[in-house]
Amino acid sequence: MTPGDQTTPQDPTQQYGGPPERGEQVPHPGRTADMDREPDHGEQSYRGSGRLEGKAAVVTGGDSGIGRAVALAFAREGADVLINHLEAEHEDAQQTVALVEEAGRRCVTVPGDLTEEAVCRRVVDRAVEEFGRVDVLVSNAAYQMAQPGGLADITTEQFDRVMRTNLYAMFWLCQAAVPHMPPGSSIITSSSVQAFTPSPALLDYATTKAGIVAFTKALGQQLVEKGIRVNSVAPGPVWTPLIPATMPEGTVESFGGQSPMGRPAQPAELAPAYVFFASQESSFVTAEVLAVTGGSPIT
C-alpha cells in the first residue's frame, strides 16, 4: 500500500506522516530534487478512468508541485497537456513530460515568465497550434515570499511580482484562451485558504488569492452563456518546492501543522479536485470554490 493509494482506506491524519524531517530551505524558485522529502504527485497511485479523453489542457506551473500532479492526472484521464514553467525549472519540467508521456499522452512545454503578457499569450498560442483548441485552462503558477515583518518589509518590487504572477497572468491567460475554448470547456484557477484566513506574513500573496476568488466568481457568471465553466480550487498548506524556497528559516518543519489534520497536503491530494472541475462530472458547477484544506473552513 502506498501513502496515496486511491483504493485502500487510510487514516488521513497519518497518511503521509508529519512535516519534513529537516525543514531545510532551498534556493528560489525551488527544485523538487533539492527537497529533503520529495512530494507525492500521484506517480504510484493516481488511476485514470477516461474522464478527459481527447481533451487538450494547459497547466501553468506544471513543472512541479500541484501543477505536476494535475498534469499527471489529466494525462491518465486521457488529455494532452501543455505546461508552462520558468527557465530555471527545466529539469523539473522534463520529469513532468516523462510522466505525461508514460501515460500515453502528448506533453508540450513552453518556458517563460508569466509576469510578461507576451509569454501568457505565447502559452495559449502554442496550445492552439499544437492541439487546435483549449478545452481546459488551469491557471496555477504563483509566487509568494513570506515577510514576517509584514507591510514594512514588502518591497514594491516584491508586491509587483506577486501581483503580476498571481493576478495579471491569470487575466492575460483567460483573455487569450477564451476565444479558443469551445462550449463544454473549463477554466480552473488556484486560489487558497489564504483568501479567507490570511496570514500576516503573506499579506500580498493573500491579497492576490482573494482577488482570484472574486475573478473566478465574476468570470464564471460572464462565460456561462458561452458554455464555459470557471471554478477555483482553494488549497490549504501543500508540500511543494515553493514552501522551502519561500518560508523563513526554522518554520518549514512546522509547515501544515496548523491544519486540523495536523499536516500539509501532498500535491496528489489536490489533483482530483482539478479533474472534477475539468470533467463533465461537474457540468452544473460554475463560479464555485472548492476547499481542499485539511479541515480549515473557508467562508
Please list the active-site residues: 205
Alpha-carbon gap, residue 157 to 262, rounded angstroms: 34
Residue 29 CA to residue 289 CA, distance in Å, equals 27
User: In this structure, what C-alpha cell is assigned to residue 262?
Assistant: 495536523
- Per DSSP, 238 falls in state B
How far is 24 from 80, CA to CA, in rounded Å? 35
Residue 296 C-alpha cell reads as 480549515
- Listed in sequence order, the residues at least 6 apart from 87 whose beta carbon sits closer than 8 Å to its beta carbon are 111, 112, 113
Q: Residue 137: which of 283, 247, 282, 277 has the closest Cα? A: 277
According to DSSP, the residues that pair with 110 across neighbouring strands are 84
Alpha helices in 58-116 (DSSP H): 65-76, 90-102
